[in-house]
Each structure stands twice: as structure tokens, then as C-alpha cells.
A and B are shown apart, each in its own frame.
Chain A
Amino acid sequence: MDFSSINPVTLIAMLMVAATPILLAAIGELVVEKAGVLNLGVEGMMITGAVSGFAVAVNTGSPLFGMLAAILAGAAVSFIFAVLTQILMANQVASGLALTLFGLGFSALMGQSYTGIVPPRTPKLDFGPLSDLPVVGRIIFGHDILVYVSILLVAAVWYWLNYTRSGRILRAVGENHDSAHALGYQVKKVRILAIMFGGACAGLGGAYLSLVRVPQWTEGMTAGAGWIALALVVFASWKPWRALLGAYLFGGITVLQLNLQAAGVRIPAEYLAMSPYIITILVLVVMSSNRGRRSLSAPGSLGRSFHAAG
């Protein structure tokens, strides 16, 4: 074994890149769940975003247009989910799973002619001499724009949820939709908007995979990132900053696993690949007791359909 081949600075810089797609998807899903909706279709929305972003970026030559397209595509598929669950009152779990399966199939179909193409490069932000600083240069000033966007998004969502009126209304809708309705808030409207925000974030996360992280298009390339994002929301107990922490932790595990393999550690890679899920299962076990559920502050109306009575 030779750990000296693992450079901590490179490791941290790499884990930030590895974590960004799941962080984007998770912060979107966090808002959706805070509104009381459980959308299990994150994987489907991510991969739809990945293929749309890739296709538009290749055809226009602009990664920025690609990302915009991914945002729109993610929001559009999530709108299907919103119509199904909020207007037609379909079961959220079944609709979410359907969305994932639909997204995987649809993206495979759309992406057939894009396999093997190299997308236009997304440039790193230019901080001038700052990027050449030792250690911090790589970690803080050495990334592309989306890494910063994702962190800013976490800050914005945290501030919005806790310190603005509309954020408070969204939390109220997720906490007790009957009370929110009685006070005159439009539960369905709030939830539909939240679902579409979640879709947009997941789409962007998907595009980050196909345009920056990999970067190319292969069928099923999200490979469970959407599920990790879902697990992450629970792991973070619906708190934005913890989602950031969790994403970097899970991202770190992914990167570390590659590095450990390179260093010749004899732990089968599958164990490390399993670890985010094992952690999440443990969190879910704690959560399944009512006491734990409350201390983790799960939204009170999570996953329940809202029928206005009277």
C-alpha cells in the first residue's frame, strides 16, 4: 500500500467536483420535501437534464445554453410529476418511481446519436494569480462556475427558508397542509412551484455530470446519483448546510475509493460504493422511531396528498 500517492489537496478539489451534481439535486429535493412532497424521480430528472444539456451544448457549442436547457428540461419533467400528484392526486411514491423509469428510458432514446461525442469544454473561472496560490488556489479558486453556484444555492436556500416570508410559507405547507390551507395559503400552488424548482436543480445537476464531470454522454450515466441525492436529504435532516456537508462527505467517499484503489488498498471498491447507502439506512432507522423523526425535523406532511375539504 502506498498512501503517499494520495494528495490531500487534489483529493479535496476532486471531491468538490464529484459532490456538485448530487449537491445540486439534493438542494432541489430538499426544497420539494420541505413543501411536503416526496419526489422519488430525482434520478429521472437528473438524467433528462444530463441528456438535454448535452444535446443542446453540442448543437449550440455553448455549455451555458446546455445548462439552461437542462434546467428547463428538469423543470418540465418534474411538472409531469406535479400534475400527477397535485392535480390528479396520484400516489407520490409510485409517480416518483415512474418518473425515474421514464427519465432513464427517455434519455436513452434521445441520447442515441450523442454517444461518443465530446461536448464543448466548460471553462474554469479565471481568478488570475489567486488560482496559483498553494493549497487554497486549487481548493477555493480552481473550479468551474457551477461549483460556486451550487454553494451559493445552498446559502440562498438556507436564507430563503429561514428568513423570508415566502420561505416560511413553504415550510408551513410542508409542516401541516391543513393548517396552511385554513389560513388561506394555496397549498397546491406552493407545492407545484417547489416541485419545479426541484426539477430544475436536478436537471442542472445532471448536466454537470454530462458536461463537466465525465464529460460525455453514456446511457444511464447518472448511475444512482439521484438516489444518493434523495438519501442525502434525509441524511441532512432537511437542513441546507448539512446537505452541503453530506454531499462533500459522499463525494469524498467516491473520490477516496478511486484513490484507494490506485494506492492498492485491498478493500473491494463495492464496500465503499455501498457506504453512502449504509449511512443513509442507518439514518432512516433512527428516523423511523417517532422520537428520532422529530429530532430530525422531518416535515410533518411529507408524502401526504392534500385534498381541500369544504
Chain B
Amino acid sequence: MKPPLLSIKGLTKVYPGVVANSEVTFDIGDGEVHALLGENGAGKSTLVKAIYGLITPNEGVMEWRGVPYAPTAPSEARATGVAMVFQHFSLFDAMDVAENVALGMDNPPPIRELAAKITEVSHNYGLPLDPSRMVGDLSAGERQRVEIIRCLLQNPQLLIMDEPTSVLTPQEVEILFRTLRQLRSEGKSILYISHKLEEIRSLCENATVLRLGKVVGRADPREESARSLAEMMVGQSLHTPSRAPAQPGKLLLEVTDLSVTSPSAFGTSLRDVTFAVRAGEVLGIGGVAGNGQDELLGALSGELRTAPDAIRMAGDPVGATGPTARRALGLLCAPEERLGHAAAPDMSLTENALLTGAYREKLVRNGFIGWSKARDFAEKIILRFDVRTPGAHVAARALSGGNLQKFVIGREIMQRPSVLIVNQPTWGVDASAAAAIRQALLDLAQAGAAVVVISQDLDELMEVADNFAALNGGRLSAPRPVQGLTMDQIGLMLGGAEGGETDAAA
């Protein structure tokens, strides 16, 4: 029998205090699209880094077509025929597409030849790309194309893709999948890492499921349901967030013609954003990253000031007031960037709890901090939101992304907001914790708060939101009820075509 393309046997990688991979064994054959499934922290990234030569495993062997394969540097992996598209793009904003591609190759041809090649290959695979554009000006989908083209130019036998669709619109995902299927028909193999189960079911013929560094299951994803795959990943049955039908209450948050200039060079300015949220309602705001999400959160939290009348809370103009005053009124926020924006990395959880909870939880008296109260508050959050940490004295930096996210969201929910704005509430959080966070958001709305969820995860928005609106280039579409909305309509809304108007015309 012909040996498989890549065979991984008993691979183990130990970091101080953590076993990232333990006895991982699986094979990838020629022309196979193999899924690597697992929650955050399951050891998927460590495993692919070992295959790509970025880290050296402690134990175990890999074989490439039956020959021992132990890359010590990415250049060795590339020479063997392994290429990788990173989750966080390894691109350089201030350089053009051709230069970025050249940097990912070991023996790049002169830039002019390379540019011609990029144009040719990108058209062959249906991923048009202009080699002379600056990468900083490209959309997330186009940036990913740069990564893919960079890999394809080296004619790899195995393409590793780490969470490739997390930043793409549904239409862009379709284009990507077409390309991947074309690659498979050319006999190339793909190792596909994702936690989006529907994608895996439509693309992959084999799946290896990792949990806490160990292989806990193998499956043919086409034969399984998304739910059974998820349960294999989590190791327990999943709780789907539930809620009673919403009773729209009084108007709590009104945003009218909100226009804000973005403070950052790569940011998107908001233009005439208008929406309203009632008590008990969850408004989901979708959109591809970089379409004004950060600016919208900033304007609502009070970090960016606007005209007083642009934002009203229960009728009162608050557009020109700062974050502390808005918190006093009951408007709380949880931004996307956990380290550095939502939490101060080197401060303890107690101190971080104090940072936003000082006023509403009365943790500060006459300018003096009530440490015991602050600690109690932090411990309450840890308990209620199942934050896995040795205690409230631990620095925020030391928590895993998912655990810190639970803490950050929990901190705001525990302060009983009347309006809560969250951006990417379950980014990088494992499936069961994500379900818990979504349930907490729904419970909050049930209790009479208005909730705005800004997210790039459409499945999440469909699950929690009553109404859906899309941000595109700093403009917000008119909110529409989630019920009855199809993926195609959402795709159009995300792309900037107003769904409402096409309906009116029909």
C-alpha cells in the first residue's frame, strides 16, 4: 500500500505546566481535505506549528510519504511541500502585495516576474488580486487571498488553513471553498482547522477531533450532524440558549444620524447610523471586521464624543457625556479587544473588576478604594460565570482568552445594566462557554435590559438577536427581524445592498 502523504505518530508537545499535545496520531492522504476540530486550547495550533516547523515536538515522529519528516524551520517545511495560511495573517501593512508574497517564499523571483505570476495564479483560482496594492488598504478577504496566493505559488502538496473563514462574508466563504475544491481536484491535500461545523461538513471528508491535547475521536463529517461533532469536541452535551418570546418594552437606546470620524488610520468613520433598541430586545449588528464596529462601540461607550442628541438613553441626550457618566445612567460596554481595552493586562482581576464597577457597585468611597468589596465583586463574577482561575488576585494577562472574556462580559452583566453593548462577546471562547455567555445576554434582555450585540459570527447573531442590522463601510442598514431572514439576504446586507429595498421592489 502506498504510504499516506503525512502521517503523524504519537506526537507530544509539553510546555511548562501544560501538555499542549499528547500522543496525537493521524494520517492525511493525497487529495484529502482533513478537518482538525477542537475548542480553543485543544492544541490544534500547537499541532500545526509542529507540522510547519515553528516548534519541535518533545516526542513522536512525523512521516512524509513514508520518509521521516522533522522540520526545524518553516523553510524546511516549505521545501518539503507544506504551506500554511495563518489565522492571524502574517502580512505587512506598509508593503505591497507582491512584496508580501515574496517574503513568504524562499527563493522569490524578481518582483516584476512575481507580480505577473501573482496576477496569473490569482485569476486561475478565482481570487483576483492586484500585486501593486498596499496590503494595509485591503479588506480581510483580500488579505487572506494574499496569504493563499503566497502558498499556492510554492506549489505545495499540503495546505494548512487555520480558521480561514472567521473574517469572511458568506459570499467570500463561497469563493474560498470553490478554490479549495479546485485544489483538491488537482490532488492537493488540505488540513483545515475550524470550529464552524457546517463548513467542515460541507468541505471535509475526514475529521480528527482534539480535546485537551488528545485525539478523542475521528469521524466522517458528512455522516455526522453539527451537533454530534460539537459534542465530540466539548465532551458533553451542549446547551442551546433558550428564551421566551420577547415583549418589547419602552425605548431605552436611540441612536439618530450618528456620524463619527475614526481616530485611527485604518479605521472606518461612521456615517448617519440610526437605530433604536427597546427594553427586552437584543439587536444584533453584523458585518465584516473593520466596517466601523470599533468606532460604533467607542461612540456608544463614550470614548468618542458626538453631538448630544445623536445618542439618547431613555430620552436623555448622552452623546457628549463620558464613559463614567454613561455608566452611572446604566449604559455599560464590553469591547472586543480583551487585553488592553476591556481589561488591563498586568492588573489583577480584582483591580480589573474595580475599573468599570467602581461607581455602580460603590467600590470607591471618598476617593479611597474598598479593597474587600472589590475582591468580593470579582469573586462573584468568577463564581457566577465559571471563570477558571486560581483566584481574583491573578493578573488578567494570565487567563486564557475565553476565560478572560467570560470575566469581562460577566463584570458588565453583574452591574445590572439597563443598556449593554458588547462587541464580539464570544470571540475565541469555547463552545460551552460561548453558550453560557449567550444565555446570560438573553437572560439580561429577559430581565428588561436593551442589549446590542456586535459580532462577526452570524450564527451567533441568529441565535441571540431579535433584530439584525449590518454595518458596511460605516453605514448601518435598517434593522430587520431575524425571523425569516435568509443567509442570502444577510449576505446582501453585509455587502451594503439594502435588503429592505429589494423586498419593497419585489
Contact = CB atoms under 8 A, between A and B. Distances in A.
A168 B102 contact: yes
B155 interface: no
Interface string A167-200: 0110110011011101111000000000000000
B93 interface: yes
Contacts of A62: none
B136 interface: yes
A175 to B, nearest CB: 4
A142 interface: no
A171 B265 contact: no
A294 B94 CA distance: 8
Nearest to A165: B108
A285 to B, nearest CB: 16
Contact of A310 (B49, B103, B264): B49
B243 to A, nearest CB: 39
Q: Taking each of A168, A175, A183, A290, which has the highest tally of chain B beta carbons within 10 Å of its own beta carbon?
A: A183
A178 B87 CA distance: 13
A299 B75 CA distance: 25
Contact of A297 (B53, B89, B94): B94
Give the interface SS of chain B, mostly helix, strand, loop or mixed: loop
B371 interface: no
Interface residues of A, number: 22
A111 interface: no
Contacts of B103: 168-169, 172, 180, 183, 185
B35 interface: no
Contact of B89 (A168, A169, A179, A185): A179
A171 to B, nearest CB: 7
Given A169-B103, A179-B92, A184-B75, A291 B265 contact: yes
B74 interface: yes
A160 to B, nearest CB: 15
A171 B95 contact: yes
A290 B93 contact: no
B93 A183 contact: no
Interface in B61-112: 73-75, 86, 88-95, 99, 102-104, 108
B46 interface: yes
A180 B92 CA distance: 9
B340 interface: no
Contacts of A180: 90, 92, 103
A171 B95 CA distance: 9
Nearest to B77: A184
Given A182-B54, A290-B264, A294-B136, A175 B94 contact: yes
Interface core residue of A179, A184, A185, A291 (most chain B CB under 10 Å): A184
A293 interface: yes
Interface in A73-120: none
B86 A290 contact: no
A300 interface: yes
B478 interface: no
Interface in B264-284: 264-266
Contacts of B94: 175, 294, 297, 299-300
Most buried by A among B89, B263, B265, B266: B265
B55 interface: yes
Interface in B120-178: 136
Contacts of B49: 310
Interface string A135-172: 00000000000000000000000000000010011011
A175 B90 CA distance: 11
Contacts of A169: 103
Contacts of B265: 290-291, 293-294
A176 B91 CA distance: 8
A183 B90 contact: yes
Given A175-B95, A291-B265, A310-B54, A184 B73 contact: yes
Contacts of B46: 310
B96 to A, nearest CB: 11
Contact of B263 (A172, A179, A184, A290): A290
Interface in A261-294: 290-291, 293-294
Given A290-B264, A290-B265, A179 B91 contact: yes
Nearest to B78: A184
A300 B92 CA distance: 9
B240 to A, nearest CB: 34
A132 B89 CA distance: 59
Nearest to A185: B103
A182 B90 contact: yes
B32 to A, nearest CB: 25
B29 to A, nearest CB: 27
Contact of A300 (B45, B93, B99, B108): B93
A291 to B, nearest CB: 5
Contacts of A294: 94, 136, 265-266
Contacts of B108: 165
Contacts of B136: 294
Nearest to B150: A183
A176 B54 contact: no
Nearest to A175: B92
A176 B74 CA distance: 17
A310 B264 CA distance: 30
A172 B99 CA distance: 9
B47 to A, nearest CB: 12
B275 to A, nearest CB: 28
Contacts of A297: 94
Nearest to A298: B94
A179 B86 CA distance: 9
A180 B74 CA distance: 11
A302 to B, nearest CB: 11
A128 B218 CA distance: 83
B403 to A, nearest CB: 18
A182 B46 CA distance: 13
Contacts of A168: 95, 99, 102-103
Nearest to B74: A184
B78 to A, nearest CB: 8
Nearest to B108: A165
A172 B74 contact: no
B224 to A, nearest CB: 31
Contacts of A293: 265
Given A165-B108, A294-B265, A310-B54, A176 B102 contact: no
Nearest to B20: A310
B38 to A, nearest CB: 16
B304 to A, nearest CB: 14
B89 A183 contact: no
Given A165-B108, A168-B99, A293-B265, A176 B75 contact: no
Contact of B93 (A175, A184, A185): A175
6 contacts: A168-B99, A172-B103, A179-B89, A294-B136, A310-B45, A310-B46
| For the complex of A and B, 9 pairs with smallest distance between CB atoms | A184-B74, A179-B90, A182-B90, A294-B265, A290-B265, A175-B92, A291-B265, A290-B264, A172-B103
Interface of A: 165, 168-169, 171-172, 175-176, 178-180, 182-185, 290-291, 293-294, 297, 299-300, 310
Given A175-B93, A182-B86, A185-B103, 9 more contacts: A165-B108, A176-B90, A176-B91, A176-B93, A182-B90, A183-B104, A300-B92, A310-B46, A310-B54
